Amino acid sequence: MNTTFEDIYQHLLAGFGEEIRGRDEQCSPAAIKVAPAAIAEVCKTLHTREKTYFDQLSCITGLDNGPEAGTMEVVYNLYSIPYNLHLSLKVELPRNNSNEEPLPELPTVAGIWRTADWHEREVFDLLGIRFTGHPDLRRILLPADWEGYPLRKDYREQEYYHGIKVRF
Amino acid sequence: MANQVQYTYDPAHFQRSEPLKYSPDELKSGEMIINLGPQHPSTHGVLRLEVVADGEIIKDVVPHLGYLHRCFEKHAENLPYNQTIPFVDRLDYLAAMNSEHVWCMGVEKMLGITDKIPKRVEYIRVLVAELNRLASHFVALGTYAMDIGAFTPFLWMMRDREHIQRLLEWVSGSRMLYNYIWVGGLFYDLPVGFEERCREFVHYLKPKLREVEEMVFSNKIFIERTAKVGVLPLDLAINYGVTGPLLRGSGLKYDLRRVDGYSVYPELEFDIPVGKGEMGELGDCWDRSWVRAKECDEALRIIEQCLDRLQGDLKRTRDFDPREAVPKKIRPPKGDYYIRGETPKGELGFFFRADGRSDVPFRCKSRSPCFVNLSVISEISKGAMVADLVAIIGSLDMVLGEVDR
């Protein structure tokens, strides 16, 4: 076992410079912060580079920090089966505070790991983050005509859905 | 108002709420869209599949999920960690103990009390989790055999699962949704006499597993229906994030109980069965089911070792308190955590973000193995026969409660 978190961080820093926004070692697994536009390229590097070879994408989590903070986050948990390595990548992106503003956008990683396909659809469904370049970005868990994104902190459920009162 | 039917009927509702991905107008000559589910016994729950078929050959399968969505993540954001355990049970309701185990392990890791859990508690956790793993695999194998035409294995396995459910009812008070494993401990110690009864059950079950193996896995019809069907190559499996018996069926010796070595699994002896493509190709439906059957044997081995310890150096004492290490207040320090464990279906992971100021998680996401395993279905059923689709769905062994959360 010779690849450490420090190695990965330094390698990414050398390759991407400004696009790497820092690190967070309080997390378990330790996290690297990445600029939204660069996430797909960073993932591609980590996936293909022989020394890291993150062949499994464990999880994609979307987070909403609320309208006051005005940001949303997406956390990618990567795992490398041959090296038994964990890593998480964090992306912070501005939030739209009203329906008039466009949804926050992020490049997809579905071309690298097929796992991302459904996970990104879920993040889109529940948090309203749009993944550009995604092959099939539809709602996955909720009905297609549902209004709003339930895991947002300021979510208010619609009053009626097909004539059924939503709040009981 | 309360007694009135609130739903207003509109023929367009269905089209608007779950529209088809493929349009019937754009199909090629000879192609058709077949709708399978959500109420269909072979989908093992409420799963709807939109199948595009050219005659008998499947062109594409589009799963439509969400019929069992119960807002687990939203609930978890509003409840203290210990009060979410009953909701965790309801994710994979066939293997509630395993999910509880992962959840509690995760919260304990966040609190930093993993080392303070008494050994007896850990062994009891592994014991009940492995019993539940057996029960889950019994449902998987039994219903799978029934899906493809064998009725007897289903009845036999349900009969044996009943014994497990009664044992677990004796332990926790309920048959399926236990709320038995608590953060930092257990609800109660094992009931007096449980270890002896459980050992009897192990003796009873061993020959039964041989019977089932003979009856199912060397049965010609079973082999014809499952071998070389739904082949999942290893590289595809990894790229899709598939875990559990599916990944092992494709030939990778990868089990989180060994890889991560959590709880007391490093102290226990067990093998990790992998598919070898004995009857057809590596990673076909037969391999996946065979891995499950072999895991039943390994689970029994683990149970026996746990019983040895629980009746030996860790045997019950008058003053043993399974709630000794249960924290009075669960307030993890600020940070992000991703915790995972091996359930019968694969890697169950929980992502937590704790803000360090409150007793509820800021965000909790469950990475459910069934959700990820199901996503591979369209890939492995392309080019198969429509009748084989049932065999493929069954071999994935998903629980819709966990897919939809």
- Write out pLDDT tens, residues B261-271: 888 899 899 99
**pLDDT-derived band at A14, boundaries 50, 70, 90:** confident
> A120-146, pLDDT tens digit by residue?
999 999 998 999 888 888 889 998 888
Q: Determine whether the interchain pair A143/B71 forms a contact, defined as Cβ–Cβ distance below 8 Å.
A: no
Q: Determine whether the interchain pair A56/B334 forms a contact, defined as Cβ–Cβ distance below 8 Å.
A: no
**Whole-model pTM?**
0.90
Q: Determine whether the interchain pair A165/B241 forms a contact, defined as Cβ–Cβ distance below 8 Å.
A: no
- B371–chain A Cβ distance below 8 A for any pair: yes
Q: Say which range, B8-12, B30-34, B49-53, B128-132, has the weakest mean pLDDT.
A: B8-12
**Helix residue ranges, H only, B71-193:** 72-78, 85-89, 96-111, 119-147, 152-172
> Mapping DSSP to helix (H, G, I), strand (E, B) and coil, where does residue A92 land?
strand
Element (H, E) at A101: none
- Distance (Å, rounded) from C-alpha B350 to C-alpha A75? 13
> B94-114, pLDDT tens digit by residue?
999 999 999 999 999 888 888
**pLDDT-derived band at B1, boundaries 50, 70, 90:** low
Q: What is the pLDDT averaged over residues A81-101? A: 86
CB-nearest to A88 from B17, B336, B371 is: B336
| Strand-by-strand arrangement of the B346-354 sheet | B335-343, B346-354, B363-367
Q: Determine whether the interchain pair A162/B7 forms a contact, defined as Cβ–Cβ distance below 8 Å.
A: yes
Give CATH for domain A5-165.
Answer: 3.30.460.80
> What does the mean pLDDT of chain B come to?
88
- Distance (Å, rounded) from C-alpha A64 to C-alpha A62? 7
Closest-CA distance of chain A to residue B13, Å: 7
CA neighbor of B60 nearest in space, from B74, B50, B71, B46 = B50
Q: Determine whether the interchain pair B8/A55 forms a contact, defined as Cβ–Cβ distance below 8 Å.
A: no
Q: What is the pLDDT of residue B2?
A: 59
Model confidence at B65: pLDDT above 80: yes
> B37-49, pLDDT tens digit by residue?
788 777 777 888 8
> What does the mean pLDDT of chain A come to?
86
- Pairing mode, strands A130-132 and A105-107: parallel
Q: Determine whether the interchain pair B337/A28 forms a contact, defined as Cβ–Cβ distance below 8 Å.
A: yes
Q: Give contacts of A28 with chain B, Cβ < 8 Å.
A: 109, 335-338
Distance of CA B48 to the CA centre of its chain: 20
CA closest to B235 among chain A residues: A55
A-B contacts at Cβ under 8 angstroms: 109
Residue type, B115: D
Q: Per CATH, the architecture of B72-404 is what?
A: Orthogonal Bundle (1.10)
Model confidence at B163: pLDDT above 90: yes
**pLDDT-derived band at B13, boundaries 50, 70, 90:** confident
Model confidence at B214: pLDDT above 60: yes
Q: Determine whether the interchain pair A151/B252 forms a contact, defined as Cβ–Cβ distance below 8 Å.
A: no
> In chain B, where are the structural domains located?
13-64, 72-404
CB-nearest to B365 from A59, A115, A143 is: A59
